[in-house]
Structure 1
């Protein structure tokens, strides 16, 4: 039936140990990948939702606001803080610049702001 196996007992025991070792390694890898997938799934489920609106901040001690962005805007810099809808509307109405890519002014229904002066750092606080 299994003519390709060695005829002596010593070599058969060696093959059995070798295959048992590989089965143990394969089972350990399966368990590790199963744990990893479970952790990734848990991470995706428990990740907080991105903010709806963000304000990009400037450099310096006071970090003045520079632009309003949608929460998922890819252009927004690393210095930012989340804001709610009302604060985003207030900042845009006060003259803070809207991002030209994600257009938060259009999404918030504030499109007639071209004639307003720029927002100062004191007015943003």
Structure 2
């Protein structure tokens, strides 16, 4: 009976250690996650991959082809005629913030 209990205690201790390690890794991931960019240019498919439209960095409708851009570049792209995505409205966000 002692051996059986010792085996179970060992198994429980290993599980606790595993769960603590997973939680520490998850916390490390949350803490060290890179900040999302303020502005994003969605990139097209064609030759040279031109930008298609500008999004705010928090827009959940951004496609998988994208690149982060600075506020100045987002303004430049918008003034050059690139479309502002209608859902997140980066054209109003980009010009109203300082």
- Assess same fold via TM > 0.5: yes
2:79 is matched with: 93
1:106 Cα deviation from its structure 2 partner: 0.8
Calculate the TM-score normalised by the size of structure 1.
0.74
2 CA distance for matches of 1:47 and 1:75? 20
2:54 is matched with: 68
Please, which of 18, 39, 61 is the counterpart of residue 32 of structure 1?
A: 18
Would you identify which runs of 4 or more consecutive aligned residues in structure 1 move more than 2 Å? none
Residues matched between the structures, number: 96
RMSD after superposition: 1.0
1 CA distance for matches of 2:92 and 2:81? 14
Calculate the TM-score normalised by the size of structure 2.
0.94
Rg larger in structure: 1
2:39 is matched with: 53
- For structure 2, which runs of at least 5 residues remain unmatched after alignment? none
- For structure 1, which runs of at least 5 residues remain unmatched after alignment? 1-14, 111-125
Q: Which has the higher contact order (CA 8 A, sep 6+)?
A: 2
